[in-house]
Structure 1
Amino acid sequence: MPHIDPEELSLLALYGAWLDEEGQRHLNSCDACSAEYAALRRAVDAMKTTPDSTSFEVPGPNVWSGIHRELGLSDATVADPLRSATGSATGSAAGSATGTETSKAGHTDPPGPGQPPAPPTDIRSVKKRPLGWQRRGTWLAVAAAGALVIAGGTLWNLNQAATPLARAELSPLAQHTATGSATVLESADGSRNLEVKLSKDEAQGYQEVWLIGTDLKRLISLGIMRSDSGTFPLPSDLNLDDFPIVDVSDEPLDGNPGHSSVSIVRGSLSS
């Protein structure tokens, strides 16, 4: 099996269970795809409002040495300030316990020529991160995560005191059994949203919500529905009389943006 597409790995990092069984087996056995997915997960976690500070690393003394050299600083600032601060904290603790050698423990001299630098004190050892931030999929995950946070907050505000305009009962098609409803809601500012609720998620790939024209040829994609419900903003100039049919399709992970022709549920809006 070829490597998993970067966009699919990004979606997996964002939403969790996204791959089919074959893709999951490949992810478990492929070192390259596993490393890419791990980098994407770290990128998504970095979007959290309270990041885990234990994953941060203190830069080595060579970083400060390079800064000091490039800026032409004086010898008074040759010591790495981060390492000196760490040593001072350790010295204070040692001085409290023994009452002696506080000044020695509170200062860390830079290593002499040919001597390896001493490891930083009280810093948790962590794995070095791969250069995942330079990879295309990582940036996609970060951008998508940020967009979801912004869109989620916007939709929450718009749905306050919303007025129902139309509703559709969604019935199963083909070999599916899911049922549900779709409701058009108008917010106080005049914007409209389509709220879709299903009894379950039966998609083998992923669910996509569509509006279909009365001629059954014109389609408008409203977006991906990651669970059994979702809210989707409607274009301000959209005439629902021209696109009254709500459709939830099962879309494969094939990169084709068109309708798969496999519909899970469908129904017509009425006031």
Structure 2
Amino acid sequence: MGAGLRVLLRGLVLAVLVFGCLALLLLVRLVERPLCGLDRPVTPHITRFVCRNAFRILGMGFQAEGTPMQARGAGVANHGSWLDIFALNACQSVYFVAKTEVSGWAGIGWLARATGTVFIARDRRQAAAQRQLFRDRLAAGHHLMFFPEGTSTDAQRVLPFKPTLFAAFFDADSPEVPLAIQPVSVIYSAPEDADPRFYGWWGDMDFAPHLLRVLALRRQGGVKVIYHDPLPIAGYPDRKALARAAEARVRAGVETALAHR
């Protein structure tokens, strides 16, 4: 099968999966929203179905190690590719935290809004409202997920974690409802003879050309997600200490996995 035909067939099946299930999700939300409010007992299962099967369509290997956290709180992960969204949603129902600009991106913005992404603005005047939004979502039992590096990389390194968002979890933590942060390492294995950075998506790279390269490849690589032990918020004096601890675990997971490929 030629590369052009693979792009056509994989792209068509992937589009049917993503946008067909998006339509189903929006229909379910028409009932789910008035009955359950912030709670989403059904639609996250649709998202997980899409993400698990996206890797099957692409022909990519997928492996998970460790146990996704069941306690209230959030996951934090390194960010190397747009594929991270599929990888982190494949094993666990999560709600991503993203900058407000993402809501306006064609295609990706629609999916983000439909799946319950929490959008935040880089505006100190909105800090109090955003902390309340975090508290409301956590109180509803939502498991949040964010990328503390603040940007994506070439999937071969982990950048220093920015502590800003960690502060919101200290505000929401309490002895009655303790919160935790779970570090998660995401590691990509490039296809044979390909650049190790093949799945990385960073800098000024456009989404569409990168997607086409992935769709066109005959033999794919894979992705591994490692869930580390959760870090109780109460065990750390401040957001900076918690960010450093989370970064150390994510970095160790990525570097160890890359060294043993």
TM-score (norm 2): 0.25
Q: Which has the larger radius of gyration?
A: 1
> Whose helix fraction is larger, Structure 1's or Structure 2's?
2
> Whose strand fraction is larger, Structure 1's or Structure 2's?
1
TM-score (norm 1): 0.24
